[in-house]
Chains A and B, each alone.
Chain A
Amino acid sequence: MNRIDQLFQTKKKNILSIYFPAGYPHLNDTNSTLELLQKKGVDLVEIGIPFSDPLADGPVIQTAAKRALDNGMSLKLLFQQLENARGNIAMPLILMGYWNTVYKYGVDHFLADCRKSGVDGVILPDLPVEEYEEDYKAKFELAGIYNILLVTPQTTRERLMQIEKSAKGFLYMVSSLATTGGILHYDSKREEYFKKVSQLDIPSLIGFGIHNKESFQHASRFANGAIIGTAFIKALQAGNSEKFLNGLR
């Protein structure tokens, strides 16, 4: 069974997912960061494949991606790092990146290497569900690699149904418009959107704007849990990632 399904079957609330860019702050930090996250009881990890023009990310993730690229990070190297790390890491692992990186790597090659290195799913924010369904869905499903789909407050009901049909694992519920790294404000309209998505048959996690224990707990009321990215990168940068993780639970 895919580790993502395992997780959502055994745990229904307060699932904590952490995002960090591969090769950041140093090229070979990927594995030690994974070990730390596991030790601190993180449920799910999203590892960013650095890309120079990330349309959906704010300045903190952009800058981190740039640094990782300058360090020499690449998708190929990331697969090697994960293959070595997988023996000690039981958490589900998801790669998050931009379509051109995967397209250029070759989709078949990419899926084969995901399997080999123990990757359970991917998040590709600039690959719309239509493109996915038409050209790639069959391949992903054959390989057993979950393509985690995003929904946003702008997603229409019609489209939500379409996304639900193709979705695997869980839905990544983008909390608000704009890019990663902002502050999330709640209002009745937003809560209504969260409720609409959480009533679907598939689990969901809330991301964008979750940055501490309070915002994590608050978001977790509306979904199975939440995703923290930018705030964790800031902690990595400041060298206090362990303390940051201790403060989340």
Chain B
Amino acid sequence: MTTNYFKTYPDEKGYFGNFGGSFIPDELIKEMNNINDAYYSISKSHEFISELRSIRKHFQGRPTPVYYCNRLSNKYGGRIYLKREDLNHTGAHKLNHCMGEALLAKYMGKKKLIAETGAGQHGVALATAAAYFGLECEIHMGEVDIAKEHPNVIRMQILGAKVVPVSHGLKTLKEAVDSAFQAYLQDPINTIYCIGSVVGPHPFPMMVREFQRVVGIEARDQYQEMTGELPDNIVACVGGGSNAIGLFSAFLDDNECKLHGVEPAGRSLNKGEHAATLSLGKPGVIHGFKCYLLQNEQGEPDPVHSVASGLDYPGVGPEHSMLKDLNKVEYHSITDKECIDAFYELSRSEGIIPALESAHAVAYALKLAKANPKQSILVNLSGRGDKDIDFVVDEYGLPGSSK
């Protein structure tokens, strides 16, 4: 990587190599340019940076720790470490970019935040940010996810957000993005679309990355302080890819660190049963940006499935699409079943219930540890699993039960 990677990618038009850009109706272009200009002028100001740093420390509880998994490492081999984003306020890394986006919205004089959510983590984080800054908040969520992630729906409502059910298509994340975009189009002047990952038209993939870089910056320092070296392997789950970009971004120049992105293989790698976009997708355009996309020969996005609602998306961040082509990150996939096993394994070996999204990263880390017992592995534990417990127990039962 070049030393000025973050200034090289994206370029002025929002491209990460061949991916990204801005494929949006003309009526949004002026507003996207405004957000871009505001990002550069406001978010680099001393005032903004101090306020965000103070929020991270006092409101979010950052830095989150890096934790060595003693029992898990003994059992599987290797040395497994977790970056504990589950301990970030609201229980996932999502609040990192939500507080940044909402602070920017406040400086820009916006009145309302709009977003989509899959698992509800982004929705809860944004509702939290809205409450903190006294802004209105509207979250679009697929009906399937509303049923599955009930606790997060309640949390958003308690925080004062309006949850809009989305009933078209598969009623999951992709449709929630459609719906949120359309709501945003109604009034882009007073509202801002706070997209939930490193996806969407420029400048969102860049902005969300910049707000998530704190994860990698902290983890790299913490890991070095704990061990005196850098980890051999770095693992994170990838849906849109925000937590992975956050962690990977600090290690792109460290050639001794291997970066692993983990996608959901769902029930199988047959069409419609997974969301392994980087493994099986082809370049395409969805939701305003170019990326690897699971699509049919007509360019229609394929139906996708993952047990983890937050990974259930046919596209992926443009920066991941580029990092794949540059062979800078290896992308792998983990099935629903492997994810559930890892969910219980981490819960029972370490006393940490992971989000199903993050359990994909844990599952891959366990494989890696078994195969490379002499190596160290740093996993982004991007969220806690409280939201998933009813679903997991209802669908899969407790380990050893007949279900």
The reply to whether B299 and A103 form a contact with Cβ atoms under 8 Å apart is yes
Q: List 12 A-B contacts (CB under 8 A).
A: A52-B300, A55-B24, A55-B25, A55-B181, A69-B300, A101-B300, A126-B285, A131-B23, A152-B26, A177-B187, A178-B186, A179-B185
Most buried by A among B23, B286, B288: B23
Chain A residues bordering chain B, tally (CB within 8 A): 42
Specify which chain A residues have a CB less than 8 angstroms from the CB of B301 in the assembled complex: 52-53
Interface size class of B (residues with CB under 8 A): 35 or more
| A3 CB-CB contact with B under 8 Å | no
Beyond A75-B298, A129-B26, list 9 extra A-B contacts (CB 8 Å). A53-B286, A56-B185, A99-B23, A103-B285, A104-B299, A105-B299, A155-B29, A163-B26, A178-B182
Specify which chain B residues have a CB less than 8 angstroms from the CB of A152 in the assembled complex: 25-27
Specify which chain B residues have a CB less than 8 angstroms from the CB of A245 in the assembled complex: none
| A22 CB-CB contact with B under 8 Å | no
The reply to whether A53 and B31 form a contact with Cβ atoms under 8 Å apart is no
Specify which chain B residues have a CB less than 8 angstroms from the CB of A52 in the assembled complex: 169, 300-301
Q: Which of A137-193 contact B (CB under 8 A)?
A: 149-156, 159, 163, 174, 177-179
A125/B287 contact (C-beta < 8 A), A177-B185, A177-B186 known: no
Instruction: State how many angstroms separate the Cβ of A237 from the closest Cβ of chain B.
Output: 17
Specify which chain B residues have a CB less than 8 angstroms from the CB of A129 in the assembled complex: 26
Docked pose: A58 CA to B299 CA in angstroms: 21
Specify which chain B residues have a CB less than 8 angstroms from the CB of A101 in the assembled complex: 298-300
The reply to whether A155 and B26 form a contact with Cβ atoms under 8 Å apart is yes
Q: Could you mark each residue 274-288 of chain B with 1 if its beta carbon is under 8 Å from any beta carbon of chain A, else 0? A: 000000000011111
Specify which chain A residues have a CB less than 8 angstroms from the CB of B186 in the assembled complex: 177-179
Specify which chain B residues have a CB less than 8 angstroms from the CB of A105 in the assembled complex: 298-299
Q: Which 3 A-B pairs have the closest CB atoms?
A: A104-B299, A152-B27, A100-B285
The reply to whether A99 and B182 form a contact with Cβ atoms under 8 Å apart is no
Q: Could you mark each residue 260-302 of chain B with 1 if its beta carbon is under 8 Å from any beta carbon of chain A, else 0? A: 0000000000000000000000001111100001010111110
Q: Could you mark each residue 85-97 of chain A with 1 if its beta carbon is under 8 Å from any beta carbon of chain B, else 0? A: 0000000000000
| A62 CB-CB contact with B under 8 Å | yes
Instruction: State how many angstroms separate the Cβ of A196 from the closest Cβ of chain B.
Output: 15
If over half of B's interface residues share one DSSP class (helix, strand or loop), that class is named, otherwise mixed; here it is mixed
Docked pose: A156 CA to B188 CA in angstroms: 15
| A130 CB-CB contact with B under 8 Å | yes
Docked pose: A126 CA to B295 CA in angstroms: 18
Specify which chain A residues have a CB less than 8 angstroms from the CB of B182 in the assembled complex: 55, 58, 178-179
| A66 CB-CB contact with B under 8 Å | yes
Docked pose: A154 CA to B187 CA in angstroms: 11
| A112 CB-CB contact with B under 8 Å | no
| A217 CB-CB contact with B under 8 Å | no
Instruction: State how many angstroms separate the Cβ of B316 from the closest Cβ of chain A.
Output: 15
The reply to whether B27 and A126 form a contact with Cβ atoms under 8 Å apart is no
The reply to whether B168 and A177 form a contact with Cβ atoms under 8 Å apart is no
Instruction: State how many angstroms separate the Cβ of A151 from the closest Cβ of chain B.
Output: 7
| B93 CB-CB contact with A under 8 Å | no
Instruction: State how many angstroms separate the Cβ of B297 from the closest Cβ of chain A.
Output: 7
Most buried by A among B24, B26, B174, B188: B26
The reply to whether A156 and B30 form a contact with Cβ atoms under 8 Å apart is yes
The reply to whether A130 and B13 form a contact with Cβ atoms under 8 Å apart is yes
The reply to whether B288 and A126 form a contact with Cβ atoms under 8 Å apart is yes
A100/B24 contact (C-beta < 8 A), A58-B182, A177-B188, A178-B185 known: no
